[in-house]
Amino acid sequence: MQNISAGGYLSASFLDWEGHVAAVIFMSGCNFKCPWCHNSDLVFNKTTPIKVTEIIEDIKRRKLFLDGVVISGGEPTCSLGLISMIREMKKIGLPIKLDTNGSHPEVLKRLLDEKLVEFIAMDVKSPLNDQDLMRMTGVSISSDLLKESIELIKRLALNYEFRTTYTPELLSQEELLKIRKELNDDVHWVVQCFKPVNCIDDNCLNYKEVKSEDIKKILPGIKIRG
């Protein structure tokens, strides 16, 4: 625990866990390089490290004002000390939410088996095949890993959601519908509106900002965020 560092910390957020006032810990580094991602400093480890021990002490002091802790990124499951960090967090007595891209199902299984997280939010970037995933994530990743994570979450998570960011220039309406089908029309699926801000690929800054009305026409009845 002593040597684990985070890439960023928000002492309180009303946006990162619906219905919760949550402290948010951002782990640095990510194995995906999604061109439209707005967290490039975290993805490429360009942030100033913050000792997790210091963050935990701050959360302990402010526990009565918080409803939970969110661990985000970057990609938290790439951090070798994640599980020991969350074990220490659990001692505070606050529920924990994990944001993940689902690329490390073995880590998710350990967290779920030990009941260390109360909520998992997994990004589903594209239809679940290797070719589309490479286009949307910028790296080669086996879709089988993500499918395994989805099944683990559906089976074992206390609460969860799957999230897809709709970027029309990269993700077609047909592909959105395909994701919906691959998730078996899961009621926990949320579609997020793309905003061209701080993107890893500068070309994405020229993409159109998505409005919720655009998504409602394609996916009536689906929860929309942003």
The answer to whether the beta carbons of residues 8 and 50 sit under 8 Å apart is yes
The answer to whether the beta carbons of residues 179 and 139 sit under 8 Å apart is no
Question: pLDDT of 71-120, one tens digit each?
Answer: 999 999 999 899 999 999 999 999 999 999 999 999 999 999 999 999 99
The one-letter amino acid at 87: R
Tell the residue number behind the tokens 């088996």, with chain if given. Answer: 113
| 199: number of Cβ within 10 Å | 21
The one-letter amino acid at 92: I
Q: Which two tokens stand for residue 82?
A: 């994640």
Q: Which two tokens stand for residue 103?
A: 């690329």
Question: pLDDT of 135-170, one tens digit each?
Answer: 999 999 999 999 999 999 999 999 999 999 999 999
Q: What pLDDT, on the 0 to 100 scale, is given for residue 1?
A: 55
| In the predicted structure, residue 19 carries a pLDDT above the cut 70 | yes
Q: What percent of the chain has pLDDT over 70?
A: 99
Question: pLDDT of 23-37, one tens digit each?
Answer: 999 999 999 999 999
Q: What pLDDT, on the 0 to 100 scale, is given for residue 2?
A: 58
Least confident of 60-64, 137-141, 215-219: 215-219
Question: pLDDT of 115-127, one tens digit each?
Answer: 999 999 999 999 9
From its phi and psi, is residue 184 left (phi > 0), alpha (psi between -120 and 50) or beta?
A: left
HEC string for the chain: CCCCEECEEEEEECCCCCCCCEEEEECCCCCCCCCCCCCHHHHCCCCCCEEHHHHHHHHHHCHHHCCEEEEECCCHHHCCCHHHHHHHHHCCCCCEEEEECCCCHHHHHHHHHCCCCCEEEEECCCCCCHHHHHHHHCCCCCHHHHHHHHHHHHHHCCCEEEEEEECCCCCCHHHHHHHHHHCCCCCCEEEEECCCCCCCCHHHHHCCCCCHHHHHHHCCCCEEEC
* Average pLDDT value over all residues in the chain: 95
Residue 226: which pLDDT band, with cuts at 50, 70 and 90?
confident
> Residue 131 half-sphere exposure, CB side, CA atoms within 13 Å?
1
| In the predicted structure, residue 3 carries a pLDDT above the cut 80 | no
